[in-house]
Chain A
């Protein structure tokens, strides 16, 4: 077991973006999340809530609403455009102007034929959903005042629109407004301000439920246009509503960060008269809740505190199981930090710029080796880390992916529009960066970038699940080859991992396929047998040539490339099964590293822990204590050898964004404490608590 010198890096000012809107596709079990910076993320709820795809945003695009129509994803925003996304190439397919000013909401009817958009100028615009595009059909009758929210009646015959101070019900055939429901303003000071109906929901029995800025949830009869019941839920705004599939439960999200549930039940058991009764309150967030989804078994919420929270409803799932646990997704499921192992440089990826940092140093001339130091001791920093380069993107698109070569002399990033490559020259007192101007035409629509370990090749994953290989020279680059696999999948490749010796390239795509290419012959070598969960990290061992993969359901596999079959250790692991505490972790492993001094070690990390798997030690039984490092330290030497098992985890560093092993065998640990993120969020509401 080795001791390491650890560089604890806390100068990565990673700041996630607030969640603005969500839409759930129950057929494919995918959740689409729209962030305030215009990025769209797709989470696979069937695969342990893994963040499969991220479509980068752009400056000036602000998404207000998301909508699934079948398997197609549409968004609309304050720039007045409706955008359809290409989920295979991770880019917007097209945008059309609605010519109604900023669009506040879009909603599709239950047949999937029409899309209604509520605009600033008071019109509800109907678009016909065609095979490859949408086409403007007509406007419903224009209103005075902006349309903030829309809801189709399940039959498609009526649309309820929430505006300022009122709710309008339109007949979708004729386009006329049939009813006008007037919403009361708040009391006191808020009587002078207009009340905004932030959200409406239309149920099958023509009940309309509305949430407004005065903090009320009101229940209306849509046929007669009368108010049935008012529930005052909060002093602040009710920002969003969501209805369950069977229309028995409605949830309302507020500015306080609470989610209030209303259920359609009878007040006394057994009786037939059902009412909408306020039942549960969840306080999942510290800041405003701006997006809600009500699935059959869970309440999914997101808001200004940037965390996605999945709260399973305990009357729908079995208690005290993995299924019923509260899930908070606060960090991305991919690597935003690249490390140049030989040069000791770190590249941080922000949406609109990149930062290159040089690591600090503690003691250049070690008078005594690391092993004699006490673990956990903090070494004095002789040279501070310094920011070498801040590179802003040209244009408005945000960065999809970035990479830094191991020697630190090449830097590359890709946006939806273009790929850029830079040559770096870093000496002790001089830094120069030079853009490589002529890039091969084949380098476009890139989702993932990776440099080879000798920094001579650049690998870029492109459309149709192919990999473009480009050779790098002193100052320019030349297109070499496009690697394709034969499985026919068109899903984007999200992991690229070349081997140390430059012979193999392992790729993984979101269709859960792992393909290995032979770089000497430039063709497909083999494909790992299909597994149902998406791989989250893949790496090739430098000495044994085994491919180690960790999946979204926390399973670990080791595949031998020479024999083209699973290794013996992997089979034993599958036979015995992983420890339940390992399987219950809710953040995925995003990178795998190997120790050149110790070939039996595999180093993994997720957001809350850093683990070294020792393949020479026995695997832990389900009953043994998993986190046993502290206990082992207190035991005498011979007993320690008996008690230790293969998984050695360390929870000293939180929250981990990246762990890398440098060439001089020191660890670089990039942490981003959640408190630092919360400190920079917008203001929460003022809550008056007793005795404070």
Chain B
């Protein structure tokens, strides 16, 4: 609500009404006025001044609201900070669980440094000396050894994919392939001393298919005989 330095005239009120701001206080005042007007209808006049709101009051109110806003912002920040801190602690704990215990680390740390010291000593003694340390294997106190894991999963997968590519291009759909049986049978048919197709010439050709065919044949004959018998 704007506090005018002068008493609001009718013209100002009209401007407000036109603006449509509907200053609630004014409306309230008007309603009040209206309510009062019921009782004192004859006494109301448009020139009545609205309630006086002092500058200090409004300033105090503004300051209050500012403070409130700041407070909420601060609170929110603090809440976020808390959350982050908690999460960080949780991660730290997880990491700790994953890592080896501190004494084990000390042990591992101490051994290679010892080795290095020994090597340096040896170097000091003899000028020409090859220090060959086997890569990938370290002997530690106790029964630990470190070695690399041969991981061929990726290369096997790629090799299989490449082989599948060749297989599909040469033998896949659209490659118009026949069978060895057909090829040999055609050879049998077209050569000088013609003979039968290979599956009849060679007794052990496609034994399983022949056995299956025999079974089906027997079943069919049996079926044919049942209605007649």
- A interface vs B, CB < 8 Å? 60, 62, 78-80, 101-102, 104, 120, 189-190, 193, 196, 213, 235-237, 255, 286, 288, 675, 678-687, 689, 692
Q: Is the beta-carbon distance between A692 and B190 smaller than 8 angstroms?
A: yes
Q: How far is the CA of A80 from the CA of B161 in the complex (A)?
A: 12
Q: Is the beta-carbon distance between B170 and A255 smaller than 8 angstroms?
A: yes
Q: Is the beta-carbon distance between A237 and B158 smaller than 8 angstroms?
A: no
* Set of chain A residues within 8 Å of B189, measured between Cβ atoms: 692
B91 CB-CB contact with A under 8 Å: no
* Set of chain B residues within 8 Å of A681, measured between Cβ atoms: 180
* Set of chain B residues within 8 Å of A80, measured between Cβ atoms: 155, 158-159
Q: Is the beta-carbon distance between B190 and A679 smaller than 8 angstroms?
A: no
Q: How far is the CA of A334 from the CA of B167 in the complex (A)?
A: 31
The stretch of B38-46, B96-104, B171-179 in contact with A is: B171-179
Can you list 28 A-B contacts (CB < 8 A)?
A78-B158, A79-B155, A80-B155, A80-B158, A101-B158, A101-B162, A102-B161, A102-B162, A120-B158, A189-B174, A213-B169, A237-B169, A255-B170, A288-B170, A675-B202, A679-B184, A679-B198, A679-B205, A683-B171, A684-B180, A685-B175, A685-B177, A686-B177, A686-B182, A687-B178, A687-B183, A689-B186, A692-B190
Interface-central residue, B171, B175, B202, by most chain A CB under 10 Å: B175
Q: Is the beta-carbon distance between A190 and B180 smaller than 8 angstroms?
A: no
The 8 Å CB contact of A102, one of B158, B175, B181, is B158
Q: How far is the CA of A687 from the CA of B176 in the complex (A)?
A: 9
Q: Is the beta-carbon distance between A120 and B162 smaller than 8 angstroms?
A: yes
Q: What does DSSP make chain B's interface, helix, strand, loop or mixed?
A: helix
Q: Is the beta-carbon distance between A684 and B159 smaller than 8 angstroms?
A: no
Q: How far is the CA of A189 from the CA of B176 in the complex (A)?
A: 12
Other than A685-B177, A686-B177, give 10 A-B pairs with Cβ distance below 8 A: A78-B163, A80-B158, A101-B162, A190-B174, A288-B170, A683-B171, A683-B178, A685-B178, A686-B176, A687-B186
Q: Is the beta-carbon distance between A62 and B163 smaller than 8 angstroms?
A: yes
Smallest Cβ distance from A18 to chain B, in angstroms?
11
B151 CB-CB contact with A under 8 Å: no
B156 CB-CB contact with A under 8 Å: yes
Q: Is the beta-carbon distance between A78 and B159 smaller than 8 angstroms?
A: yes
Interface-central residue, B174, B182, B183, by most chain A CB under 10 Å: B183
* Set of chain B residues within 8 Å of A692, measured between Cβ atoms: 186, 189-190
The 8 Å CB contact of B177, one of A101, A193, A675, A684, is A684
- Provided the pairs A190-B174, A236-B175, A682-B171 are in contact, do residues A286 and B158 lie with their beta carbons within 8 angstroms? no
The 8 Å CB contact of A685, one of B162, B176, B190, B198, is B176
* Set of chain B residues within 8 Å of A120, measured between Cβ atoms: 158, 162
User: Who on chain A is nearest to B162 by CB?
Assistant: A102
- Across the A-B interface, the 8 shortest Cβ-Cβ residue pairs: A686-B178, A102-B162, A683-B177, A78-B159, A78-B162, A686-B176, A101-B158, A684-B183
Q: How far is the CA of A686 from the CA of B180 in the complex (A)?
A: 10
Interface-central residue, A78, A286, A675, by most chain B CB under 10 Å: A78
Q: How far is the CA of A236 from the CA of B177 in the complex (A)?
A: 10
Smallest Cβ distance from A20 to chain B, in angstroms?
10
Smallest Cβ distance from B167 to chain A, in angstroms?
9
* Set of chain A residues within 8 Å of B184, measured between Cβ atoms: 675, 678-679
Q: How far is the CA of A101 from the CA of B177 in the complex (A)?
A: 30
User: Who on chain A is nearest to B205 by CB?
Assistant: A679
Smallest Cβ distance from B129 to chain A, in angstroms?
25
User: Who on chain A is nearest to B183 by CB?
Assistant: A684
* Set of chain B residues within 8 Å of A193, measured between Cβ atoms: 174
Q: Is the beta-carbon distance between A62 and B159 smaller than 8 angstroms?
A: yes
Smallest Cβ distance from A245 to chain B, in angstroms?
30
- What 1/0 flags go to B139-155 for Cβ under 8 Å of A? 00000000000000001
* Set of chain B residues within 8 Å of A235, measured between Cβ atoms: 176
* Set of chain A residues within 8 Å of B155, measured between Cβ atoms: 79-80
* Set of chain A residues within 8 Å of B176, measured between Cβ atoms: 235-236, 685-686
* Set of chain A residues within 8 Å of B183, measured between Cβ atoms: 286, 684, 687
* Set of chain A residues within 8 Å of B161, measured between Cβ atoms: 102
Smallest Cβ distance from B109 to chain A, in angstroms?
33
* Set of chain B residues within 8 Å of A62, measured between Cβ atoms: 159, 163
* Set of chain B residues within 8 Å of A680, measured between Cβ atoms: 180
* Set of chain B residues within 8 Å of A678, measured between Cβ atoms: 180, 184
Interface-central residue, B159, B163, B174, B181, by most chain A CB under 10 Å: B159
Q: Is the beta-carbon distance between B169 and A60 smaller than 8 angstroms?
A: no
Smallest Cβ distance from B152 to chain A, in angstroms?
8
Q: How far is the CA of A255 from the CA of B169 in the complex (A)?
A: 11
Q: Is the beta-carbon distance between A237 and B190 smaller than 8 angstroms?
A: no
Q: How far is the CA of A79 from the CA of B153 in the complex (A)?
A: 11
* Set of chain B residues within 8 Å of A213, measured between Cβ atoms: 169
* Set of chain B residues within 8 Å of A102, measured between Cβ atoms: 158-159, 161-162
Q: Is the beta-carbon distance between A196 and B159 smaller than 8 angstroms?
A: no
Q: How far is the CA of A91 from the CA of B68 in the complex (A)?
A: 84
Q: How far is the CA of A235 from the CA of B176 in the complex (A)?
A: 9
Smallest Cβ distance from A276 to chain B, in angstroms?
26
* Set of chain B residues within 8 Å of A104, measured between Cβ atoms: 162
Q: How far is the CA of A235 from the CA of B190 in the complex (A)?
A: 23
Q: How far is the CA of A681 from the CA of B184 in the complex (A)?
A: 12
* Set of chain A residues within 8 Å of B180, measured between Cβ atoms: 678-681, 683-684
Q: How far is the CA of A213 from the CA of B165 in the complex (A)?
A: 13
* Set of chain B residues within 8 Å of A683, measured between Cβ atoms: 171, 177-180
* Set of chain B residues within 8 Å of A286, measured between Cβ atoms: 183
Q: How far is the CA of A199 from the CA of B54 in the complex (A)?
A: 96
Smallest Cβ distance from A385 to chain B, in angstroms?
15
Q: How far is the CA of A609 from the CA of B182 in the complex (A)?
A: 30
Smallest Cβ distance from B35 to chain A, in angstroms?
83
Q: How far is the CA of A80 from the CA of B155 in the complex (A)?
A: 7
Interface-central residue, B169, B198, B205, by most chain A CB under 10 Å: B169
Smallest Cβ distance from A284 to chain B, in angstroms?
15
Smallest Cβ distance from A441 to chain B, in angstroms?
20
Q: How far is the CA of A457 from the CA of B179 in the complex (A)?
A: 49
* Set of chain B residues within 8 Å of A685, measured between Cβ atoms: 175-178
Q: How far is the CA of A680 from the CA of B189 in the complex (A)?
A: 20
Q: How far is the CA of A682 from the CA of B177 in the complex (A)?
A: 10
Q: How far is the CA of A190 from the CA of B169 in the complex (A)?
A: 11
Q: How far is the CA of A193 from the CA of B168 in the complex (A)?
A: 11
Interface-central residue, A80, A102, A683, by most chain B CB under 10 Å: A683
Smallest Cβ distance from B184 to chain A, in angstroms?
7
User: Who on chain B is nearest to A79 by CB?
Assistant: B159
* Set of chain B residues within 8 Å of A675, measured between Cβ atoms: 184, 198, 202
User: Who on chain B is nearest to A687 by CB?
Assistant: B178
Smallest Cβ distance from A358 to chain B, in angstroms?
21
* Set of chain B residues within 8 Å of A689, measured between Cβ atoms: 186, 190
Q: How far is the CA of A190 from the CA of B158 in the complex (A)?
A: 26
Q: How far is the CA of A62 from the CA of B184 in the complex (A)?
A: 29
User: Who on chain A is nearest to B168 by CB?
Assistant: A193
**Chain B 180-201 interface residues, beta-carbon cutoff 8 Å to A:** 180-184, 186, 189-190, 198
Q: Is the beta-carbon distance between A60 and B178 smaller than 8 angstroms?
A: no
* Set of chain B residues within 8 Å of A78, measured between Cβ atoms: 158-159, 162-163
